[in-house]
Amino acid sequence: MKQHLKALGIVLILAAVLVWGFNFFFMPKVQQASTSATNLTDMEKNGVPSFSFKQLNGESLELSQLKGHVVIVNFWASWCGPCVEEVPSLIKLVKEFKGDVQLLAISGDSSLEDINVFMKSFPELKNENIKIVWDQDRSLMKKFDIERLPESLILAQDQHLLKKISGSINWYTPESLSYLKDLLKK
């Protein structure tokens, strides 16, 4: 009988340790997701906070300088297959709108060399309506709670967040074109 009580005690202790471990490791993630949702709601209501960035061409720019345009903020990396897959449709979309839609492409690559090789594969990225940024320390990805690539934010002309898109999509579809045309009429 003592052995059964001893075994029951060990099982109860192990169960308590498992519950504590679950709460310790998984509860902070739930809180983080809640914080991320709060940030998205805040950006929808109050607009995306402006930030400065340096483009690959060396020019410094601030997000607020793109007010008056619909802005697609696209987080990507050259090693990300889905990111590479959506680039041609993003380029085509930006060209279609002749400056009314701006692309801010923020790379999470580890080296500038990787980005330069990528850029050689897509020479159409050298376009005045496409801003390429290397987020070397990933501070912008942290600022916008980017958890996986690609992720994109669509900002209205007043820089309020309209949509957050996780994953790769075909940006050049009749639905996308219609959506952006409607935005530009507002």
Exposed e or buried b per residue across 29-60, where buried means at least 16 C-beta atoms within 10 angstroms of its C-beta:
eeeeeeeeeebbeebeeebbeeeebeebeeee
pTM above 0.95, yes or no: no
The span from the CA of 125 to the CA of 14, in Å, is: 57
For 124, residues 6+ apart whose C-beta sits below 8 A from its C-beta are 91, 95
pLDDT at res. 21: 42
Helix (H, G, I), strand (E, B) or coil at 154: strand
For 144, residues 6+ apart whose C-beta sits below 8 A from its C-beta are 39, 73, 75, 151, 153
pLDDT at res. 18: 43
- Positive or negative CA dihedral for 138, 108, 150, 129? positive
Each residue's pLDDT expressed in tens, for the chain with a length of 186 residues: 666 556 555 554 554 444 444 444 333 333 333 335 457 788 888 999 989 999 999 999 999 999 999 999 999 999 999 999 999 999 999 999 999 999 999 999 999 999 999 999 999 999 999 999 999 999 999 989 898 999 999 999 999 999 999 999 999 999 999 999 999 997
